[in-house]
Amino acid sequence: MKKLLMIGVSSIALFAAPAIAQNNLSNVDQVGAFSKATVTQNGSNAESDVDQNGNGTDATRQIEVAVTQSGDGAYSKINQSGNRQQAEVIQNGDSSSTINQAGNSSEAEVRQTGDGNTSQIDQNGNSNGVGNALNSSAAGVIQTGDDNSSTVDQDPSSFSQANVDQLGDGNSSFVQQQQNSGGGGNETKADVNQNGTGNIANVLQNTAVQNGKQDATVNQTGIANSSNITQSGALNDATTTQNGNDNVSVVNQSAIAPGATATVLQTGDENRSNIQQSGAATATVTQSGSDSYGIAPPNNDSFVTQTADGAEATVTQTGELNLSNVTQNSDATATVGQTGVYNRSTVNQTATAAGALATVSQTGSPSSGGPGVGQGDNLSTVTQSGASTASVTQLANVPTNGFPSNDSDVNQSGTGSFATVSQTGDGNVSDVEQSANDASVNVTQNGLGNTSDVTQTGFGGGSVGTFVNVTQTGTGNNALVEQDSSDPSPIANTGQRTTIVQNGTGNDSDVFQTGANSIAVNNQTGTGNNSVIDQNARTNRAEVDQIGNSNTSSITQNALGNNAFVDQLGTSGTSTIVQNGTSNVVNDQAQAPTDQGGAGVRQRVGSLRAASTITQDGRQGFAEVDQGGTDNTSFITQGSSGLNGQFFANITQIGDENTSTVNQGITDADNTNDTLTAVVDQTGDNNDSLINQSGDLNTANVLQAGNFNESTVTQGGSGNTASVFQYSDSNISTVTQSGTNNAATVTQGSALPLPN
C-alpha cells in the first residue's frame, strides 16, 4: 500500500501543469475496527507516518487521526494502540511532531506554525488528554514561531490533562504527569503558556492518587525566563507567572505534601524564587523590579521552605536586590514585604512554633533610581520557636552609610509573647529576645545610630504581662533592658514593666529587673544623659526623668517595697540612689516623712553639676533631696547594716555651691524604737551642713538662709535633739551630743524671710 501511495503522488505530478515537485510522503497502517486516518499535505518535503491498532467504542466509536501539513519540511508521526484514541496534527513549516498513545481513551492535539519546532507526546493510560482533538479547538500543543520545543510525557498515567502554548522563538516546555487512577474532578492538569524567546518551563507531577488532582500552571512572557514545578502527592496546586527577562522560579512539593499550594508572580528582570514544600502549606511570592545596578543575578531573591501542614508564607518584593528567606517547620504564618534596594529578611519558625505569626515590612525611600538614589539596606531576622507574634517595620529614608541601614533581630522562644519593632532612619539596631511567656515589647526608633537591646526571660508576665516600651528619637541613643522573673509565684507573674523614652543625642539608659511588680521608667531629653536602674526582688519602683545635657543617674534597689525618683535638669547633674534592706515600703518623693521607704531626688532651676547620693539600708527609710542652683551636693546614708528603724532625711538646697551630708545610724545595733530624723534647708551661696547621728530617737534640724554658713551636728545616744538656725552670713555652728535625752538649739542672726 505504501508503494501505491508513492505512485499516486508521482502520477499527479506528471499530469499537473505546471509541474511542481512536492516530494511529500505519507504512510498509514491501520489494524482494527473504527479506524480513520485523514492526511492532507499541501506543501513540499512533508512526511506523515500513521500507525493505528485498536478498537474504539463510542463517542462515537473512534480511533481517528487527522494530519494537515503545509509549507516545507513538516514531519508528523502518530502511533495509536488501544481503545478510543484520537489525534490531530496541523503543521505549517519545517516542524516535527510525534504522538505515541497506547492505552484507553487518550487524545492529543498539536498545532505548529514556523520552522524548527518539535513536539513529543507520549500517553499510556486511561482518560489522558493533550488538548481536544478533532473539535476545532485551539488547545493541546500550540507552537507559533521557530525552534520551540515541547514534550508531554503521560506514560504511564491516568486522568491527566496537559496544554502547551508557545508563541515566539526558542521556548522549551517539558511536562511529565503520572497519575495512575482517579477521575472526574480529580484529574491532574498542567498548563504551560510561553510568549517570548528562550523561556523554559518544566512541570513534573506525580501522585499516588488518594483523590489525585494536581494542578500546575506556568505563564511566561519575555526572554529567558525559567520555571520548574515538581509536585508529588495529591491535591497540590502550583502557579507561576513570569513577565520580564531572566526570571527564575522553582517550586517543589514532595510526596508528603498533599494539599500544598504555591503561587509565584515575577515582574521585571532577574528575579528568583525557590519554594520547597513537604507539608500541606501555602506559599505566595510576588516579585517586581529590574536590576539597574549591573550586578549579576539574581535581582530580588526569595526562598520559602515549608515542612508542616498549615504553614503559610507570603513574600512581596518590589525594587532591586532584595532577599527574603522564610523557613517554616510548624503551623505558623509569615508575611514579608520589601520595597527598595538590598533589603534582607530572614524568618525562621521552628517545629515548636505552631501558631506563631511573623510580619516583616522593610522599605527604602526612594525605592528605586539606581546607585546613589534608591534606598533600602534594611536587615531583619525573626526566629520563633514558640507561639508568639513578631512585627518588624523598617524604613530607610536617608542616604545609608553601607549595609545594614536599620537592623532588627527578634528571637522568641516563649508562648503568647508580642514583639513590635519600628525603625526609621539609618544605622538603628534593635535586638529583642523573648523566652518568657506572655511577654511584650514595643521598640520604636527614629533617627540615626540608635541601639535597643531587650531581653525577657523567666516565667513571664501572666495575664497583665511583662512588657517593655522603648522609644528613641535622635542620634546615637542606647537602651538596654533585661527582665528576668525566676519566681513562679503569682506576684512575679504580674510584674516588671519598663518604659524608656530618649530624645536627643548620645543618651544611654540601662534597666535590669528581676523579681515581682518592678516598674522602671527612664525619660531622657538632651545630650549625653546616662541612667542605670537595677532592681531585684519584689515591689520595686524607680523613675528617672533627666532633661538637659550630661546628667547621670544610677539607682540600685534590692529587697522589698523600695521606691526611687530622680528628676534632673542641667549639665553634669549626678544622682545615685542605693536602697537595700528587708522592710522598705513603696513610696515616692511627694509623700509625708511618716511613710516608710523610698527616696526622691529633684535637681532643677537650671542646675549645673549638682550631685546627690542616697544610700538606705535596714528598715523603713525615707529620703528626699531637692536642689536648685549651681554645684549643689547632697550625700545621705541611712541605716547601713545597723537595721535601725524609721530613719528620715529631707534636704532642700536652693542657691549656689551648697553641700549637705547626712549620715544616720550606721553603727548602731538593731533597735526597733529608733526614729532618726534629719532635715536640712539651705538657701543662699556656699552653705555647708553635716549631720551624723548614731543611736536612738535622734532629731537634727538645720536651716541656713545666709551666705557662707557652716553647721556640723554629731549626736550619739538616745533621744537627742539639735536645731540650728543661721540667718546671717559666715556663721559657724558645731553641736556634738553624746549620752541620752540631750537637746541643743543654736540660732545665729536675725530671722529673714525665706524665698518661696
Instruction: Tell me the whole-structure pTM to 2 decimals.
Output: 0.88
Domains in the chain: boundaries: 1-156, 157-290+297-307, 599-748
String of DSSP letters for 13-28:
HHHSSS------EEEE
Report CA-CA distances (Å) from 167 to 119, 379, 389, 570: 14, 41, 47, 76
Report CA-CA distances (Å) from 661 to 111, 532, 721: 101, 23, 18
String of DSSP letters for 402-462:
SS-SSEEEEEE-SSS-EEEEEEEEES-EEEEEE-STTEEEEEEEEEES-EEEEEEEES--T
- 707-744 per-position pLDDT tens digit: 888 999 998 877 889 999 988 888 899 999 888 888 99
User: Of 496, 460, 455, nearest to 479 (Cα)?
Assistant: 455
- What's CA 121's distance to the chain center, in Å? 47
Q: From the CB of residue 671, how many other CB atoms can be counted at a distance below 10 Å?
A: 16
The answer to whether 71 and 91 are in contact (CB under 8 A) is: yes
Amino acid at 655: G
Pairing of strands 149-154, 118-123: parallel
The answer to whether 647 and 665 are in contact (CB under 8 A) is: yes
Torsion of CA 663, 665, 668, 673, to 10 degrees: 170
- pLDDT of 493 strictly over 60: no
Provide φ and ψ at 712, rounded to 5°.
-130, 125
Residue 94 vs residue 214, higher pLDDT: 94
Helix (H) or strand (E) segment spanning residue 34: none
* Average pLDDT of the residues in 178-204: 85
- 312-351 per-position pLDDT tens digit: 999 999 999 999 999 999 999 999 999 999 999 999 999 9
Enumerate the β-bridge partners of residue 272. Answer: 248, 301
The answer to whether 697 and 674 are in contact (CB under 8 A) is: yes
Exposure string of 544-567, with b = 16+ CB inside 10 Å and e = fewer, is bbbbbbbbbbbbbbbbbbbbbbbb
Q: In the prediction, which pLDDT does 558 show? A: 81
User: Of 283, 243, 269, 378, nearest to 323 (Cα)?
Assistant: 378
Q: Which residues contact 232 (CB under 8 A, 6 or more apart)?
A: 204, 205, 206, 207, 253, 254, 255, 257
State the average pLDDT for the chain.
85
- pLDDT of 4 strictly over 50: no
- 690-717 per-position pLDDT tens digit: 999 887 788 999 998 878 889 999 988 7
- 44-93 per-position pLDDT tens digit: 999 999 999 988 777 677 889 999 999 999 999 999 988 888 999 999 99
- 581-631 per-position pLDDT tens digit: 655 543 444 333 333 446 788 887 777 778 888 887 766 778 888 888 778
Q: Which residue has the cell 498542567?
A: 190
